[in-house]
Amino acid sequence: MAQTMFDKIWNNHVITGEPGEPQLLYVDLQLLHEVTSPQAFEGLRENNRRVRRPDRTFATMDHDVPTEDIFNVKDVIARKQMETLKANCEEFGVHLAPIGDENQGIVHAIGPQLGLTQPGKVIVCGDSHTSTHGSFGAIAFGIGTSEVEHVLATQTIWQAKPKNMGIRVHGKFQPGVYAKDLIMALIGQNGVDFGTGYAIEFFGETIENLSMEERMTICNMVIEGGAKSGIIRPDQTTFDYVRGREYAPQDMDAAIAHWQDYYTDDESAFDTIIDFDASTLAPYVSWGTNPGMAIAIDETFPEPKDINDEKAYAYEKLTPGDKPEDIDLGFAFIGSCTNGRISDLAIAAEIMKGQHIHEGMTTLVVPASRAVWNEAKQRGYDKIFTDAGCEFREPGCSTCLGMNPDRVPAGVHCASTSNRNFEGRQGAGSMTHLASPAMVATAAINGHFVDIRKTPVHA
């Protein structure tokens, strides 16, 4: 029977258990952050256990980082979580990239950047956007804190195998359309649960032509469409990205040969397939309180179809029939594990160069990692952003969620490159509108969204 890449990597990691039932998988890499690891370490301590493979475990700090003044953690809970992570990593011998460290950053940015994220691996983290790492041709998914403890203790995890969905994408993006729009459109058109029970492999010419960073954006958000994982076949783009990174395989040629063993046999291996034409895709903007409530920039807000839509309109203070241009923005956020990498900042910088953000707008540009921060400074983006009236911050999750001081005030609409627009996500009473970095940068300048296909600047 034909097998997908997901099936093959899965089968190669099964330790015990029958097909069709939960199986025990070997875990190649566990990433940790300060929010979901404290109880897991506490559990180890209580049971007098150690970390089974510290060399396959890597920790960083991201969610709680105060990006304006990183060493001045005023919030008591945040400080406690970070101090606890540091103490736990010391006690259990786990490598930690703390605040200020060259390798620190959002956990889903640093895995790829360090070469820890590789094709063929099973990668877990106590964080839902772990799906990001699947863009390298790995099985990657988020787990709960009790599972974090299980993996720390045993380097294994019990899992029921999801079904396989293939999303075949063809056609070239119009200028001003990006990977973010592709994944937002898939969720906007198919709903926040279309992927439930599935691992999704993205393939086709459009995907093959994307950079690794764009592929990461797509897999990052599959979880918002309900999927367990996203996965993309590793190719030359992947190999070139991994090669030479700190934790990359010593013998890349042997590794590449091995990774190619995992390729999906043929399309009959998928339980279901969706076709998507990228050539007619427009930039997307979310209007509501989940990522499925999103439309193309040239559409109008839909009539509410259920009570959830009605509630979303009431929360967002928007009216069906209005357009994304009508949203009166007060805040813009460029960052997060979805769109806080160097190529995202490059696009935003290109647009912001010589421009100024709209009067009354607050705009935060927050690199996903220290390495991105360094690179952005080297390229002079920090100056472009500050000259344009933005704040260029230190790396962390920042305004993606209100766990640190970078919050959107109540009643303010925020154009955001992040991945979730839930009620209060960016601060109590804040209203989030998800979009690509180019859309958000342009919106910051205009004070409202515009159809960037009609503006001259596209990076």
Ligand X SMILES: CC(C)[C@H](C(=O)O)[C@@H](O)C(=O)O
- State how far the Cα of 72 lies from the Cα of 63, in Å rounded to an integer: 15
Answer yes or no: is 219 a known binding residue: no
Mapped onto helix, strand or coil, the DSSP state of residue 276 is strand
Q: DSSP secondary-structure letter at 423?
A: T
63 counts as binding ligand SF4 under rule CB under 6 A = yes
Answer yes or no: is 337 a known binding residue: yes
Nearer to ligand X, 13 or 63 (CB): 63
Task: Tell me the torsion sign for CA atoms 310, 312, 315, 319.
Answer: negative
Name the token pair of 119: 């094709």
Nearest to 157 by CA among 142, 147, 145, 170: 147
List the x/- string, 414-453, binding to ligand SF4 by CB under 6 A. ----xx----------------------------------
Interhelix angle 76-92/38-46, rounded to 10 degrees, is 50
Interface with ligand X (CB under 6 A), residue total 8
Q: How far is CA 60 from CA 32, 254, 266, 437, in A?
A: 6, 30, 38, 25
128 counts as binding ligand X under rule CB under 6 A = yes
Q: How far is CA 170 from CA 132, 182, 277, 279, 326, in A?
A: 21, 11, 5, 7, 32
Side-chain half-sphere exposure of 386, counting CA atoms within 13 A: 8
Q: How far is the CB of 44 from ligand X (least distance, A)?
A: 19
Nearer to ligand SF4, 118 or 419 (CB): 419
142 counts as binding ligand X under rule CB under 6 A = yes
Q: Which does 336 bind (CB under 5 to 8 A by kind): ligand SF4, ligand X, none?
A: ligand SF4
Nearer to ligand SF4, 337 or 412 (CB): 337
Give φ, ψ of 186 to 5 degrees. Answer: -60, -45
Nearer to ligand X, 56 or 420 (CB): 420
Burial group, residue 42, by CB count within 10 angstroms (0-12, 13-18, 19+): middle
- State how far the Cα of 447 lies from the Cα of 325, in Å rounded to an integer: 9
Determine the Cα angle at 225 with ends 408 and 133, to 5°.
85
400 counts as binding ligand SF4 under rule CB under 6 A = yes
36 counts as binding ligand X under rule CB under 6 A = yes
Q: Which residue has the tokens 């200020």?
A: 100
| Interacting residue with ligand X among 7, 127, 213, 344 (CB under 6 A) | 127
Nearer to ligand SF4, 156 or 419 (CB): 419
Nearer to ligand SF4, 281 or 415 (CB): 415
Beta bridge partners of 432: 414
Give the range of 127-135, 210-218, 265-273, 350-358 binding ligand X by CB under 6 A.
127-135
Q: How far is the CB of 36 from ligand X (least distance, A)?
A: 5
Single-letter amino acid code for the residue at 104: Q
- State how far the Cα of 366 lies from the Cα of 265, in Å rounded to an integer: 41
Give the range of 239-247, 352-360, 395-403, 450-458 binding ligand SF4 by CB under 6 A.
395-403
Q: Which does 155 bind (CB under 5 to 8 A by kind): ligand X, ligand SF4, none?
A: none
| Interacting residue with ligand SF4 among 89, 207, 397, 438 (CB under 6 A) | 397
| Interacting residue with ligand SF4 among 31, 61, 82, 106 (CB under 6 A) | 106
| Interacting residue with ligand SF4 among 23, 67, 117, 336 (CB under 6 A) | 336
- State how far the Cα of 380 lies from the Cα of 129, in Å rounded to an integer: 30
Answer yes or no: is 400 a known binding residue: yes
- State how far the Cα of 429 lies from the Cα of 301, in Å rounded to an integer: 21
Residues of this chain that bind ligand X (CB under 6 A): 35-36, 63, 127-129, 142, 401
Annotated binding site for [4Fe-4S] cluster: 337, 397, 400
Residues of this chain that bind ligand SF4 (CB under 6 A): 62-63, 106, 108, 127, 129, 336-337, 397, 400-401, 418-419
Annotated binding site: 337, 397, 400
